[in-house]
Structures are given as structure tokens and as C-alpha cells.
Amino acid sequence: MGARVPYELVVLFEHPEWQKPLWAALDRRQVRYAALDLKRAAFDPDAVPDAALYFNQASPSAYVRGNTRAVPLALSLMRSLELGGARVLNGTRAFVLELSKSSQAALLRQLGIPHPRSLAFNDPEAALEQWTAGWPALLKPEQGGSGARMFLLNSADELRKLMRDRPELWLPDNLLLLQQYFPVDPTQGIVRMEFLGGKLLYAMRVISNGAFNLCPSEVCNPEDGGDSHCAITAAAPARVEFYPYPDVPPEAVATGEKIMAAGGLDVGGIEYLEAEDGARVFYDVNANSNLRAPIGQAFGFDPFERVVDYLTEQISKLSSRAVRKSAERA
């Protein structure tokens, strides 16, 4: 981390293209921040923290970009920061939840929230002995991100063949999930709600057109359907469509708020689908929330400016707390 510098904020990141709108907003507001690139980093646990506030923007999908080592370093660094007394937004607790779809399912069960049945496994035959939710089913990675390693399978034999022919699918953590499949109205897609400080920022409908990579970043899914800079978008049959959803039901928002609080997320995206029987089925928790500027603009604001509002509010609170503690010691 180097010598101590009077930063107000340090942002942990791995994908620089995702961060450019945030960098621009922080620069406009003249926030004294540092950006720590997790791809090539080192830290001394005796020397951290360098700032009172850290913002974790690491992504579980780092491995699809050849940056597998970013995730364990992020976890180790955040543990040291938290033990050192720093405030880490989307810290260890939130990031561990994002890295584990089975933990997300367990949390949803604990909260009594409808969610797909899931089965984590490291051997396909062991999975098939226990799988009772039927076919088709989704194959997902335990450590997900950007739709990587996802397949819609129609039979047990398809799973066996896929795992025989594609052993690289076990990477990076040698753990996969079978998950119950819910067909949805393709014209309605799924709903993604973005939360900031535990409260709804905006909601949008996402029409997949058959794609699994629903990353809302314009880098991955450009607004004009132009070239994507995502490592796994090439297989998408058509562009993903994003639409503002101002009429998101209050009950769905309340459920999202409950998930955010229980999961320890400061910023995040919660996704749900609407099953054929009308039930809302919650299935994905994202701590690394790539905001989509055109959606925020449709609601009348710049979402990245709202994030900086939240960050500067946290910086101010921490500064006031430090002043009070200093006065108490005097």
C-alpha cells in the first residue's frame, strides 16, 4: 500500500473500464481518493489502513479476465482493514456472500424469501443422486459473475457430457450449482433493483434475449448495441435490453432492503424473476453493482453522482467521529 497518505477514500477495483464513471464523479467533487488495482497489489497488514473509508469494487468474475488472484487478495486485504478499524463498504461479509451462490440461497431460505432450489456439488454423479427438482435446470458457478459458466440443461446426460467435455468449467473454485429453472415471459424479462445505503436507487427490467450475461455496465452491454468489451459477451445471440421500471412493487423493494441488510451490503443489485404463477422468485445478490447511467438519467439523476453523495456522507460521518474521539481523549 506504500507510505501513509491523507486519503479520504480508497477504492479497491479490478476492472478499470467499469470504474471510469466513478473516477470522473469523484474527480468532479474533488474527493481525495486512491484507486488500488487488485490485479497487481501487495499490502502489509501491520501498516493498513491508509484511510478511514474503503469501497470494495472487486468482482467475482475477475477470473474470466485472467485476474483470478484479485479475489483472494481483496478478501485478505479487507480482513486486515476491518481488523485495523477501517470502514469497508461492501466489505468481507458482503463479498463472501457474493462469492457463494449457495450462501445466497441459504440466506434467502433463512429470510423466508422465495428462491430457486439449488444444489452445490464437486462431482456430477453425486449431484445427480440428490437432484430432484427436475429438468430443465440451470448449471451455474458457485462463484458467479457476468453470466460466465452458465448453461441451460435438459437432462442428466447433458450434465454428464458437459462436465466430461468441458473440465475447465470447474475453474476457479471447483464448485458448481444445479439450480431450479423458472421460465419467464421473454417480453418482461427479469427485474434488477439497485440499492445504495440500503435504500432503492432505481429498478429496471432486463430483457435478456437469450443471454446469460446481464451485466448492466455499458462497457459490457452498450446502450447502442455496439461492440462490447466484456470477455464473455461474444456468445450472446442478441443485445441485452435495459428499461427503467418506476412501478416496481413496494413489496419487492422491501424484500430487497431485507436482503441488503441481512447480507451486510452497502451498495448492491438484487435480481428477481416473475414465475408463471405470479410469484416473485429472488435469485441473485450482487455486491459489485455496475450502475447504468441511462437508467439513472431516465429517473432524473446521475447514479454515479448519487454514489459519490453517499461516499462523501460516510467520509463526513467518520471524520466527525474521529474528532469526537480525539476530543474525548484530550
* pLDDT at residue 26 greater than cutoff 80: yes
How far apart CA 241 and CA 245 sit, in angstroms, is 12
CA 242 from centroid of its chain's CA atoms: 17
Residue 141: enclosing H or E segment and its boundaries?
strand 137-141
Last residue of a domain, one of 153, 180, 207: 180
Q: Note whether 293 and 198 are same-domain residues.
A: yes
Q: Please give the order of strands across the beta sheet that includes 118-121.
A: 118-121, 176-180, 137-141, 151-153
Q: What domain count does the chain have?
A: 3
Beta strands 87-89; 53-56: pairing state: parallel
Q: Give tens-digit pLDDT for 279-307.
A: 999 999 999 888 999 999 999 999 999 99
What's the pTM?
0.92
Q: Please give the order of strands across the beta sheet that includes 190-196.
A: 241-244, 199-207, 190-196, 267-274, 280-286
CA angle 140/238/134 to nearest 5° reads: 35
Is residue 97 domain-resident? no
Q: Note whether 152 and 195 are same-domain residues.
A: no
Half-sphere exposure of 37 (CA within 13 A, CB side): 6
Q: Give tens-digit pLDDT for 115-152.
A: 999 999 999 999 999 999 999 999 999 997 777 789 99
Q: Note whether 197 and 281 are same-domain residues.
A: yes
| Average confidence score pLDDT of the chain | 91
CA dihedral 19, 21, 26, 28 (to 10 degrees): 150
Half-sphere exposure of 66 (CA within 13 A, CB side): 2
Q: Note whether 174 and 152 are same-domain residues.
A: yes
Q: Note whether 315 and 288 are same-domain residues.
A: no
Last residue of a domain, one of 162, 180, 198: 180
Burial environment of residue 37 by CB neighbours within 10 A (0 to 12, 13 to 18, 19 or more): middle
Other beta carbons within 10 Å of 42: 8
- The confidence band for 235, taking pLDDT boundaries of 50, 70 and 90, is very low
Is residue 94 domain-resident? no
* pLDDT at residue 227 greater than cutoff 80: no
| Residues 189 and 198: beta-carbon distance below 8 Å | no
| Residues 181 and 138: beta-carbon distance below 8 Å | yes
- CATH no. for residue 161? 3.30.1490.20
pLDDT at 226: 62
Residues in the chain, how many?
Answer: 330
- Expressed as residue numbers, the domain containing 236 is 184-299
Q: Note whether 41 and 134 are same-domain residues.
A: no
DSSP code, position 175: -
Last residue of a domain, one of 164, 180, 196: 180
- The confidence band for 229, taking pLDDT boundaries of 50, 70 and 90, is low
- CATH no. for residue 259? 3.30.470.20
Q: Note whether 196 and 175 are same-domain residues.
A: no
| Residues 212 and 147: beta-carbon distance below 8 Å | yes
Is residue 175 domain-resident? yes
